[in-house]
Structure 1
Amino acid sequence: MRTYDAVVVGAGQAGLSASYHLRRLGLDHVVLDADATAGGAWQHRWDSLTMHDVHGVAALPDSAAPAGDAGRANVVVPAYFAAYERELDLPVLRPVAVETVEDGPDDLLVVRAGARSWTTRTLVNATGTWRRPFVPRYPGTETFRGEQWHTVAFPGPEHFRGRRVVVVGGGASAVQHLGELAPVTDTFWVTRREPVWRSDDFTPDRGREAVALVEERVRRGLPPASVVSVTGLALRPQEQEAARLGAYEWHPMFLAVEPDGVRMPDGTLEPADAILWATGFRPAVAHLAPLHLRSELGGIRLDGTTAVADQRVQLVGYGPSASTIGANRAGRVAARSVQRYLASAQSRSSAASS
Structure 2
Amino acid sequence: MEHADLIVIGAGQSGLATAALAPRHGFTRTLVLESAEAPGGAWPRYYDSLTLFSPARHSALPGMRFPGDPDRYPTRDEVVDYLRAYARRLTAEIHTSTRVTSVIRHKEAWLVSTDDGRQYTARAVVAATGDYTSPHVPDVSGREEFAGRVLHAADYRDPEPFTGQRVLVVGGGNSAIQIAAELGELAATSLVTRRPIGWMNQRPLGRDVHWWFTHTRFDTAPLRRLLVKVPVAVLDDGHYRRALEEHGVDRREMFTRLTADGVMWLDGTKETVDTIVWATGYRLTFPFLEGSGALDPDGRPQHRGGLATAVPSLGFVGMEFQRSFSSKTLRGVGRDAAHVLARLR
With structure 2 as the length reference, what TM-score do the two structures score? 0.84
Q: In 2, are the aligned partners of 1:206 and 1:231 still within 8 Å (CA)? A: no
* Distance (whole Å) between structure 2 residues aligned to residue 299 and residue 211 of structure 1: 24
Structure 1 residues 3 and 135: alpha-carbon distance in aligned structure 2, compared to 1, 3 A threshold? same
Aligned to 2:126, the other structure's residue is in SS state strand
Q: In 1, are the aligned partners of 2:9 and 2:126 still within 8 Å (CA)? A: yes
Q: In 2, are the aligned partners of 1:178 and 1:247 still within 8 Å (CA)? A: no
Aligned to 2:200: 198
Matched residue pairs, number? 325
Structure 1 residues 230 and 211: alpha-carbon distance in aligned structure 2, compared to 1, 3 A threshold? farther
- Offset from partner CA, 1:110-149 (integer Å, 9 cap, x none): 1110311111111111001121111111122222232111
Structure 1 residues 14 and 273: alpha-carbon distance in aligned structure 2, compared to 1, 3 A threshold? same
Aligned to 1:61: 62
Aligned to 1:220: none
Aligned to 2:199, the other structure's residue is in SS state coil
Aligned to 2:48: 47
Q: 1:1-354, aligned counterparts within 5 Å? A: 1-27=1-27, 28-50=29-51, 55-56=55-56, 58-67=59-68, 72-73=75-76, 75-105=77-107, 107-114=108-115, 115-199=117-201, 201=204, 202-204=209-211, 206=213, 209=218, 212=221, 215=223, 230=231, 232-245=233-246, 249-295=250-296, 299-320=300-321, 321-338=327-344, 341=345
Q: In 2, are the aligned partners of 1:190 and 1:252 still within 8 Å (CA)? A: yes
Aligned to 1:346: none
Aligned to 1:102, the other structure's residue is in SS state strand
Q: In 2, are the aligned partners of 1:8 and 1:30 still within 8 Å (CA)? A: yes
* Distance (whole Å) between structure 2 residues aligned to residue 231 and residue 289 of structure 1: 31
Structure 1 residues 247 and 196: alpha-carbon distance in aligned structure 2, compared to 1, 3 A threshold? farther
* Distance (whole Å) between structure 2 residues aligned to residue 148 and residue 263 of structure 1: 16
Structure 1 residues 64 and 193: alpha-carbon distance in aligned structure 2, compared to 1, 3 A threshold? same
Aligned to 1:24, the other structure's residue is in SS state helix
Gaps of 5+ in 2: 322-326
Q: In 2, are the aligned partners of 1:9 and 1:33 still within 8 Å (CA)? A: yes
Q: In 2, are the aligned partners of 1:183 and 1:241 still within 8 Å (CA)? A: no
Structure 1 residues 334 and 2: alpha-carbon distance in aligned structure 2, compared to 1, 3 A threshold? same
- Offset from partner CA, 1:25-76 (integer Å, 9 cap, x none): 341221111111121111111222246x764472121111143668751x32
Q: In 2, are the aligned partners of 1:189 and 1:247 still within 8 Å (CA)? A: no
* Distance (whole Å) between structure 2 residues aligned to residue 113 and residue 249 of structure 1: 47
Aligned to 1:179, the other structure's residue is in SS state helix
Q: In 1, are the aligned partners of 2:30 and 2:92 still within 8 Å (CA)? A: no
Aligned to 2:338, the other structure's residue is in SS state helix
- Offset from partner CA, 1:195-217 (integer Å, 9 cap, x none): 3332574234537536657x559
* Distance (whole Å) between structure 2 residues aligned to residue 70 and residue 296 of structure 1: 41
Aligned to 1:223: none
What is the alpha-carbon root mean square deviation over aligned residues?
2.7
Q: In 1, are the aligned partners of 2:285 and 2:300 still within 8 Å (CA)? A: no
* Distance (whole Å) between structure 2 residues aligned to residue 140 and residue 262 of structure 1: 9
Percent identity reads: 31
Q: In 1, are the aligned partners of 2:290 and 2:299 still within 8 Å (CA)? A: no
Structure 1 residue identity aligned to 2:166: R
Q: In 1, are the aligned partners of 2:167 and 2:276 still within 8 Å (CA)? A: yes
Aligned-residue offset at 1:248: 6.3
Aligned to 2:186, the other structure's residue is in SS state coil
Aligned to 2:324: none
With structure 1 as the length reference, what TM-score do the two structures score? 0.82
Aligned-residue offset at 1:92: 0.9
Structure 1 residues 233 and 21: alpha-carbon distance in aligned structure 2, compared to 1, 3 A threshold? same
* Distance (whole Å) between structure 2 residues aligned to residue 83 and residue 256 of structure 1: 46
Aligned-residue offset at 1:166: 0.8
Gaps of 5+ in 1: 218-226, 342-354
Q: In 2, are the aligned partners of 1:210 and 1:231 still within 8 Å (CA)? A: no
Q: In 1, are the aligned partners of 2:47 and 2:158 still within 8 Å (CA)? A: yes
Structure 1 residues 71 and 216: alpha-carbon distance in aligned structure 2, compared to 1, 3 A threshold? closer
Q: Quick check: which one's helix share is greater?
A: 1
* Distance (whole Å) between structure 2 residues aligned to residue 112 and residue 37 of structure 1: 20
Q: Quick check: which one's strand share is greater?
A: 2
Structure 1 residue identity aligned to 2:218: E
